[in-house]
């Protein structure tokens, strides 16, 4: 299945959006059903990672120091484990997923992922590119996904509305966080711009 679209974030700069979308903590908090998102080496033990996960995350923008966010940002070649649980057509799978950052060079990032639940699995290639507009920044995104097992049997008619709902909630949460950055008058914008 192929998904693509764009989402415009108003009143922000591409540097602010880049830093926000490079922050594993902000991504985890904005992604519905995400229990954790952490950098890994080797094969992850999802039960152990879930047991160690807490809701006591470090702050994100605008409260976070931009340098701290840049230090924990996704890195090209990095691998990240995440556990996402969501309702798909009456099924509530818990996808244990490993995400690889395939390329990351401002203003474009590409990633691939594999995930599995007890009776379903998926493979995904995805990416985004930031485009400055008169209103702010448009995030052009795309994903190509192969889904297998019970979830796949539901078909695109069931999966597409769920994917659209998740994507809209995700970007709305990012937009909410970034509107606080654009309202900040303490020089945060200049500090973020200086990081790129």
Distances in Å between the Cα of 84 and the Cα atoms of 29, 32, 45, 140 are 11, 8, 15, 23
Percentages helix, strand, coil for the chain (3-state, rounded to 5) are 35, 35, 30
Rounded to an integer, what is the distance from CA 126 to the centroid of its chain?
A: 11
Residue 182: pLDDT band (50, 70, 90) is low
Span 164-179, average pLDDT: 85
In 10 A of CB 101, how many CB atoms?
A: 19
Span 162-174, average pLDDT: 86
Q: Please name the helix (run of DSSP H) or strand (run of DSSP E) that holds residue 162, with its range, or none.
A: helix 156-183
> What is the distance in angstroms between the CA of the first residue and the CA of the last residue of the chain?
34
* pLDDT of amino acid 102: 98
Span 71-93, average pLDDT: 89
Percent of the chain with pLDDT over 90: 57
The 3-state DSSP class for residue 189 equals helix
* pLDDT of amino acid 187: 74
Is there a contact between 88 and 95 (Cβ–Cβ < 8 Å)?
no
Q: Which residue has the tokens 């390329």?
A: 103
Q: Which residues contact 55 (CB under 8 A, 6 or more apart)?
A: none
Rounded to an integer, what is the distance from CA 86 to the centroid of its chain?
A: 15
Instruction: Tell me the backbone φ, ψ of residue 54, rounded to 5 degrees.
Output: -130, 165
Residue 96: pLDDT band (50, 70, 90) is very high
Q: Which of 141, 80, 86, 78 is nearest to 114 (CA)?
A: 80
Residue 69: pLDDT band (50, 70, 90) is very high
Lowest mean per-residue pLDDT among 88-92, 129-133, 153-157: 88-92
Token pair of 196 as six digits: 């790129």
Q: Which of 172, 194, 192, 173 is nearest to 182 (CA)?
A: 192
* pLDDT of amino acid 110: 98
* pLDDT of amino acid 11: 86
**Three-point CA angle 5, 28, 70, nearest 5°:** 90
In 10 A of CB 185, how many CB atoms?
A: 6
Span 74-78, average pLDDT: 98
Span 75-96, average pLDDT: 88
């Amino acid at each position: 299945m192929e998904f693509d679209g764009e989402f415009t974030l108003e009143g922000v700069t591409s540097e602010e959006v880049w830093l926000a979308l490079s922050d594993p903590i902000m991504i985890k908090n904005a992604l519905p059903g995400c229990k954790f998102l952490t950098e890994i080496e080797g094969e992850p033990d999802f039960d152990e990672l879930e047991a160690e996960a807490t809701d006591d995350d470090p702050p994100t923008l605008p409260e976070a120091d931009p340098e701290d966010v840049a230090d924990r940002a996704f890195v090209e070649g990095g691998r990240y484990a995440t556990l996402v649980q969501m309702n798909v057509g009456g099924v509530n799978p818990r996808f244990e997923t490993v995400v690889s950052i395939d390329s990351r060079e401002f203003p474009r990032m590409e990633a691939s992922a594999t995930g599995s639940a007890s009776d379903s699995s998926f493979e995904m290639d995805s990416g985004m590119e930031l485009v400055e507009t008169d209103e702010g920044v448009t995030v052009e995104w795309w994903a190509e996904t192969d889904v297998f097992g019970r979830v796949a049997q539901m078909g695109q008619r069931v999966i597409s509305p769920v994917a659209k709902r998740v994507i809209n909630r995700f970007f709305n949460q990012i937009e909410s966080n970034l509107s606080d950055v654009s309202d900040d008058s303490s020089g945060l914008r200049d500090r973020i711009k200086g990081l790129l």
